[in-house]
Amino acid sequence: MNRLRNRLVLIFLAATLAPLAATVWITNSLLEYSLDYTSTGQLNRVARSLELTARQYYQHMEDDLQRAARGGDRKPAKYALAALAGWPETVKDFAASGEPERFARAGTGGDRLDYLVRHGDEVWVYSAALGVGMERLSKEIGEANAFVERARGRDLRRGFKVVYALLAATIWLVSFTLLIYLAHRISQPIQQLTAGLGRLAAGDLNARVPGRRNDEIGRAIRAFNDMAERLRETTERLVALRQLASWQALARKTAHEVKNSLTPIRLTVEEMVARSGETDRAFLEQAAQIVVDEIETLERRVRAFSQFAAEPPVSPCLLDVNWLLQERIAFLKTAHPEVAYDCRLADSAPRAMADQDLLKGILTNLLENAAEAAGVGGRILGATFTENGHVAIEVHDSGPGLSEQARTSLFQPTISFKKRGMGLGLSIARKSALLSGGDIVLVKGELGGAGFRVLLPVAGNGGQTHTDRG
């Protein structure tokens, strides 16, 4: 259940439904008032009033014209029967109808009133200007009445309300759908981040949250991934240090027990040589030499265990890793002239904060191992660069590389894959890197063989550069 998304949806409902209902009610009231205010009934009343006024005005004009004609106040236009061919059509129709008198509209648009009267064989026509186009006025009144009839045939109020309700509901539903989509987009990465935190809290140090957002959630996801990666590295270092501490205790105990046995063996052998006769002296010397050689071998092992078990003081200082790598390579070239060395150094000369003697020991061990693996005609590459807040030094060789078995137990003490190896070199080197705040990891070799990367903390500003070049 995505609680955050559901909360966002509920907040949207609470924030929009009440204003939407109020808006619909107010708009509906205004629409009702507007339809009432512009009702077609009022237009119908105006049209009928105008029609009645036009009729009364026309009747009044007829009466005035008839009165003026009978009182002799207006002179008529006389049409004799002899000139029937030249009569207007209105006069001809009147003459043919047999009516004694008639009123007719004439002129452009019916703006003149004619009073036709029969006098013997003549037709007298009295005319008066109406002042308005009666035909145009009649047409406009008819159009207004037709509009009113059409409007009455439709329910405008209901139509407007239905259309408005549909539009409002459509807009709200589109907004609601968009909100659900946005809520899902917002809540999904948060839910993934919460799940990642749960996995990390349960002990899964490889828990990561995918995401490429550039907002606050994206920054939180990147911060979580970075924190998880640092926690994994720190945990691995702590585990490695704990394992090394266990082996150190075993080494100290072994060294102590071997030393206790070596002293009486050496003294006994020397006394045997001193007391032996001349005849058996050659044999005894040969036997004594064998015993002494074995004792020296045991002493070398004891010294290696003692070095591994020792806790040297760590004195971190600001180091120029470019110079230090070149110095170690130049130092080892004389011991392995059959190997070709190459360097790929960072342009910015990265500075690391580490113990110089420990770092020299790390590089010496890695370069010696690389030279032995590369063999005659082989190649070794040393590289420096910065990566994720660390200064990195890499050593690659063109040897046969490492087997899968060697990769899984490479840094475990007493496990060696060389003929005369003690199995402590890489363990001591990694211990030195961990004591310096860094680590040694196995990487893909660029020359076809093995590749090792030494990670060291980047030096802060304001430090003093210290490199012993004497």
Cα–Cα distance, 64 to 50 (Å, whole number): 21
- pLDDT reported for residue 265: 66
Residues 25 and 45 in one domain: no
At 420 the pLDDT is 46
Q: Do 353 and 433 belong to one domain? A: yes
Does this model's pTM top 0.85? My answer is no
Q: Around 408, how many Cα atoms within 13 Å sit in the side-chain half-sphere?
A: 3
Structural domain ending residue among the three candidates 287, 311, 335: 311
Whether residues 271 and 354 fall in one domain: no
Q: CA–CA separation, 417 vs 373, rounded Å?
A: 11
Asked if residue 345 is part of any domain, the answer here is: yes
Does 72 share its domain with 124? yes
| 463 belongs to a structural domain | no
Which residues are registered as beta bridge partners of 391?
386, 456
Number of domains in the chain: 4
Whether residue 30 is found in the same domain as residue 163: yes
pLDDT (0 to 100) of residue 212: 73
| Residue 201 within any structural domain of the chain | no
Q: What is the 3-state secondary structure (H, E, C) of the chain?
A: CCHHHHHHHHHHHHHHHHHHHHHHHHHHHHHHHHHHHCCHHHHHHHHHHHHHHHHHHHHHHHHHHHHHHHCCCCCCEEEEHHHHHHCCHHHHHHHHHCCCEEEEEECCCCCEEEEEEEECCEEEEEEEECCCCHHHHHHHHHHHHHHHHHHHCCCHHHHHHHHHHHHHHHHHHHHHHHHHHHHHHHHHHHHHHHHHHHHHHCCCCCCCCCCCCCCHHHHHHHHHHHHHHHHHHHHHHHHHHHHHHHHHHHHHHHHHHHHHHHHHHHHHHHHHHHHCCCCCHHHHHHHHHHHHHHHHHHHHHHHHHHHHHCCCCCCEEEEEHHHHHHHHHHHHHCCCCCCEEEEECCCCCCEEEEEHHHHHHHHHHHHHHHHHHHCCCCEEEEEEEEECCEEEEEEEECCCCCCHHHHHCCCCCCCCCCCCCCCCHHHHHHHHHHHCCCEEEEEECCCCCEEEEEEEEECCCCCCECCCCC
- Are residues 322 and 420 both part of a single domain? yes
CATH code at position 332:
3.30.565.10
273 and 418 together in one domain = no
Q: Are 336 and 292 members of one domain?
A: no
Sheet holding 101-106, edge to edge: 77-80, 122-129, 112-119, 101-106
What is the residue-level pLDDT of the chain in tens, covering all 470 positions?
466 567 667 777 766 776 667 777 777 666 665 555 455 666 677 778 877 887 888 788 888 888 888 888 888 888 887 777 778 888 888 888 888 888 887 766 667 888 889 888 888 888 888 777 667 777 777 777 777 676 655 555 666 667 777 877 887 788 778 777 777 777 777 777 788 888 888 878 788 888 777 777 777 777 888 888 888 888 877 877 777 777 776 666 666 556 655 655 665 666 666 666 555 666 666 666 767 766 776 776 666 666 666 666 788 999 999 999 999 898 888 788 899 999 999 887 678 999 988 898 899 999 999 999 999 999 999 999 998 888 999 999 999 988 887 787 777 765 454 544 445 678 888 888 888 889 999 999 999 999 999 999 998 743 344 444 33
Residues 56 and 127 in one domain: yes
Closest CA to 352 of 262, 448, 451, 454: 454
Is residue 212 in a domain? no
Residue 204 is assigned to a structural domain of this protein: no
- For residue 59, being part of any structural domain is answered with yes
**26 and 131 co-located in one domain:** no
- Same domain for 261 and 373: no
Please give the residue range of the domain that contains residue 32: 3-38+155-188
Under 8 Å between Cβ of 363 and 403: no
Residue type at 273?
V
Residue 324: inside a domain: yes
Which of 269, 287, 311 is a domain's end point?
Answer: 311
Q: Which two tokens stand for residue 444?
A: 């893909």
Indicate if 417 and 277 belong to the same structural domain.
no
Type of residue at 11: I
Residue-level pLDDT at 425: 77
Is residue 360 assigned to a domain?
A: yes
Domain boundary among the residues 137, 152, 167 is at: 152
